Amino acid sequence: MNPGAGALGQVIAGATTRGRGIEMGMQFGVFSVGDVTPDPTTGRTPTEAERIKAMVAIALKTEEVGMDVFATGEHHNPPFVPSSPTTMLGYIAARTTRLQLSTATTLITTNDPVKIAEDYAMLQHLSDGRVDLMLGRGNTGPVYPWFGKDIRDGIPLAVENYALLRRLWREDVVDWEGRHRTPLQGFTATPRPLDGVPPFVWHASIRSPEIAEQAAFYGDGFFHNNIFWDAGHVRRMVSLYRRRFEHYGHGPADQAIVGLGGQVFMRKNSQDAVREFRPYFDNAPVYGHGPSLEDFSELTALTVGSPQQVIDKTLTFREMAGDYQRQLFLMDHAGLPLKTVLEQLDVLGEEVIPVLREEFAARTPAHVPDAPTHESLKAAQEKVSA
Amino acid sequence: MTSRRIAVVSAGIGVPSSTRLLADRLAAATTAALAEHGVTAEVEVVELREHAHELVDAVLTGFVAPGLRPVVDAVTGADGLIAVTPTFSASYNGLFKLLFDALEDGVLDGKPTLIGATGGTGRHSLALEHAVRPLMAYLHAVVVPTAVFAAPEDWAGGAAGVPALDRRIARAAGELADLVVGRPAAAAADPFESPVPFEQLLRGE
């Protein structure tokens, strides 16, 4: 039996086809790793308090400039601050009205799925359903034993924990036994998901085909961060997901739900952007001290230049990955000061996103669905039960 | 006439490089030995020096840039591998190791492999046995028994009591050719083409 097929009707029916109902189109937003990194141009390191408040300010700005999604990372070790995503997102929910709250990523390996089920259902109620999750495994070996796990079980943990998480959201009373946590007898996760509709889930992985396979199996979304690996690899991962999405009977490959990351830094003149961003690039965690900014920009989704260059580059992602539903930008990495990040978000909101919305809408065929939201999933569920 | 692909990796630094010279001699001898089996060798030589920056980038970023991809594909797709390094500090040099650090897990499983090294003195010859061979064993390459070390005197007449370099090269190349002909390396499965079905993952397999 294929447990993925059970959700098929809901998920696919829950994706709003463009051209019908509320026109929403592609989702644009911001995702943050939440790193506390010294500003290489001043040597100043923000305090944890400053960084946490900066992330909130960035989220609020994301809504203010007309974007749709803010996603926070989850980490449990310095130099990162966002260990408690639902606390942060709950606070942001109270200060926004429209913004979709997401994660990049929620650790499906080291978190207890029972706690994920409850925390995010709670956030759904507080935010009136403006919640989805992107699940990831995390990549730092020592984090696993801090939570009683072993990194060598990364994939099996992601598989078992998510299978349980789905049941906790979909079944009121769960009896369960697995290999990676204590059994459950007659357990009810509280609160129940808002309107009986579980949050939409994206599975994120940079390099593991198993995770693309998992997303495809359930008909969930697949997100590739797209900024740390080369475009050729991203294309292979997304195409695997699309092919297997169709294989598991969720619909044609071009209707699978894909999200991509990107990273941009803009000034009116591209030379100014390069000059200002280079010290941040050269010293950045992950890729600093390696390839040149120019080489890395050519290979990955990083764009440092004018707003028009960002528009042009972002439109190429569609050629790489097919029509996709969610575009998130990393804006606050590598020690950029908050003031600069907020300026960047203004430029993004004023000069880039409106053009991208129009251009993507013009290029996307009508049969390609939008990313599911609480409203669309709820409508689909009502249709099924009617 | 059937053919087999032989990838030759040289981590030599200088130009001209004695490491590259040894690599070429090993490749030529392997080509000759394969010809005796009626097999044509398609030899592809990789000079790691030309990819030094890309190799460091691959280690730092975790992905292989397009310029390095043909190198990785040549090595992983070969039916036989000839890997030659200069001896630095009683071991392979850093450039040599970077290549093997940049490869995906499992791509050298069962790969027929001949290892060689050059050095400033014959007293380094066991570097092949205590450094290069264990590295290849970890990578599950199948390394032929004869490893070829070329010291300065080997490029002349050789040392007393040591078989001449060309005889050691011929013996090693013969061993590699036998392995390549008898057991061509299987093409590595592409996990993006044929993923493990999710039902299997769910069952914990």
Residue of A nearest to B57 (CA): A290
How far the first Cα of chain A sits from its last, in Å, is 26
**Mean of all residue pLDDT scores within chain B:** 93
pLDDT digits (tens, 9 = 90+) for A203-242: 999 999 999 999 999 999 999 999 888 888 999 999 999 9
Q: By CA distance, what is B190's nearest residue in A?
A: A209
Q: Which of residues 115-174 of B touch A (CB under 8 A)?
A: none
SS3 B29: helix
Task: Confirm or reject contact between B189 and chain A (CB < 8 A).
Answer: no
Q: In which band, very low, low, confident or very high, does the pLDDT at B15 lie, cut at 50, 70 and 90?
A: confident
pLDDT at residue B188 in the model = 61
Q: What is the DSSP string of A60-85?
A: HHHHHTT--EEEE---SSTTB--S-H
Contact B195 A209 (CB under 8 A): yes
Task: Write the residue in A155, A286, A299 that is nearest to B201 by C-beta.
Answer: A155
Contact B62 A228 (CB under 8 A): yes
In B, which residues are within 8 Å of A3 by CB distance? 202
CATH architecture of B2-202: 3-Layer(aba) Sandwich (3.40)
In whole angstroms, how far apart are CA B155 and each of B19, B64, B151, B164? 12, 36, 7, 9
Interface of B with A in 23-62 (CB under 8 A): 56-57, 60-62
Q: Percent of chain B at pLDDT above 90? A: 83
The dihedrals phi and psi of B10, each to the nearest 5 degrees, come to -120, 125
Contacts of B195 in chain A (CB under 8 A): 209-210, 212-213, 240, 244
For residue B152 the two structure tokens come to: 């300065």
B205: nearest CA in chain A?
A156
Q: Give mean pLDDT, residues B25-51.
A: 97
Distance of CA B203 to the CA centre of its chain: 38
**What is the Cα–Cα distance from A23 to A42, expressed in whole angstroms?**
45
pLDDT band, residue A8 (cuts 50/70/90) = very low
- State the pairing for strand pair B112-118/B142-143: parallel
Q: Are B61 and A240 an interchain contact pair (Cβ–Cβ within 8 Å)? A: no
CB contact under 8 A, A216 and B198: yes
Which residues have CB under 8 Å from B161's CB, separation 6+?
none
B182 contacts chain A (CB < 8 A)? no
Q: Quick one: pLDDT at residue B187?
A: 66
Mean pLDDT computed over B85-105: 97
pLDDT value at A3 more than 80: no
Q: What does A119-178 look like in DSSP terms, one character per residue?
A: HHHHHHHHTTT-BEEEEE----TTHHHHTT--GGGHHHHHHHHHHHHHHHHH-SSEEE--
Cβ separation of A163 and B195 shorter than 8 Å?
Answer: no
pLDDT in tens, A22-42: 457 999 999 999 999 999 999
**Which residue in A192, A74, A190, A217 sits closest to A133, CA to CA?**
A74
Residue to substitute from A299, A300, A302, interface B, most B β-carbons within 10 A = A299
Q: Could A287 and B201 be called an inter-chain contact, meaning their C-beta atoms sit closer than 8 Å?
A: no
As a whole number, mean pLDDT of residues A306-315 equals 98
- The length of chain B, given as a count of residues: 205
Quick: pLDDT tens for B171-195: 999 999 999 999 865 566 677 888 8
φ/ψ (deg, to 5) at A90: -65, -40
pLDDT at A17: 46
Q: Do A299 and B62 touch (CB under 8 A)?
A: no
| Res A1: pLDDT | 37
Interface residue of A240, A283, A289, A320 to substitute, partner B, most B CBs within 10 Å: A240
Count of CB atoms situated within 10 Å of the CB of B70: 13
Question: Percent of chain A, pLDDT > 90?
Answer: 88
Rg (CA), chain A: 20
- Residue A209 near residue B195, CB atoms below 8 Å: yes
Q: Determine the pLDDT at residue B189.
A: 67
Among residues A332, A338, A277, the alpha carbon closest in space to that of A40 is found at A277
The answer to whether the Cβ–Cβ distance between A209 and B192 falls below 8 Å is: yes
Spatial contact of A369 and A21, defined as CB atoms under 8 Å apart: no
Residue numbers in A near B63 (CB within 8 A): 228-230, 233
Residue of B nearest to A233 (CA): B63
CATH fold label, A3-385: TIM Barrel (3.20.20)
The partner residue sitting opposite B201, judged by closest CB among A210, A236, A240, is A210
Complex-level ipTM: 0.81
Q: What would the two tokens of residue A220 be?
A: 């969930």
Q: Are A97 and A113 in contact (CB under 8 A)?
A: no
pLDDT at A2: 43
Inspect the interface and report whether the beta carbons of B56 and A230 lie closer than 8 Å: no
Instruction: Using a pLDDT cut of 70, give the percent of chain A over it.
Output: 94
Which pLDDT score is estimated for A255? Answer: 97
C-alpha distance from A125 to closest chain B C-alpha (Å): 31
Residues in chain A: 386
Cβ atoms of residues B15 and B47 within 8 Å: no
Confidence at residue A13, expressed as pLDDT on a 0 to 100 scale: 44
Q: Which residue from A159, A237, A240 is facing B201, i.e. has the nearest CB? A: A159
List CB contacts of B162: < 8 A, sequence separation 6 or more.
Answer: B122, B154
Looking at residue B190, what is its pLDDT?
77
* B125-161 pLDDT per residue, tens: 999 999 999 999 999 999 999 999 999 999 987 777 7
A284-293, A364-373, B47-56, B167-176: the lowest-pLDDT one: A284-293
A287 contact residues in B (CB cutoff 8 A): 60-61
Angle, helices A85-94/A48-64, rounded to nearest 10 degrees: 50
Query: Can you give the pLDDT at residue B163?
Result: 84
Q: How many CB pairs under 8 A join A and B?
A: 67
CA dist A30 and A45 (Å) reads 22
- Which of A213, A228, A290 faces B195 most closely, judged by CB atoms? A213
SS3 per-residue string spanning A188-209: CCCCCCHHHCCCEEEEECCCCH
